[in-house]
Amino acid sequence: MMNMTNKLTCIKICNDRFEAEMIKNYLAIYEIDSIISSDNLGRVITGNYSARGVKILVKEEDAKRASEILESDDFKINSSSPTE
């Protein structure tokens, strides 16, 4: 669980909230807590897209492991969109 003394690191910037939520849930499987940070301005204007991006933040000590998980082939396979 995160508290105010944990230093946070941005491990990924997503284009939209949906992608960020998917990543947050995937990291939770590996017991890595994360926070989604966004200005939400893009959501009001365009529906879901954020012009500044939606950041995924994790504790500094979890950053390397979280990045490795997101770079793994398993994550890429599970998160890819279906082809037509």
Residue 3 covered by a domain: no
Cβ pair 29, 66 in contact under 8 A: no
Average pLDDT over residues 4-14: 88
Question: First CA to last CA across the chain, in angstroms?
Answer: 40
Please identify which residue in the block is written with the tokens 């990045």: 67
Structural domain range at position 15 = 8-79
Residue 17 covered by a domain: yes
Residue 39 covered by a domain: yes
Residue 1 pLDDT exceeds 80: no
User: pLDDT tens digits, residue range 17-69?
Assistant: 899 999 999 999 999 999 999 876 555 555 555 567 899 999 999 999 999 99
Residue 70 covered by a domain: yes
CATH number of the domain encompassing residue 61: 3.30.70
Residue type, 69: I
Q: Specify the number of domains making up the chain.
A: 1
- 10 or 42: which leads in pLDDT: 10
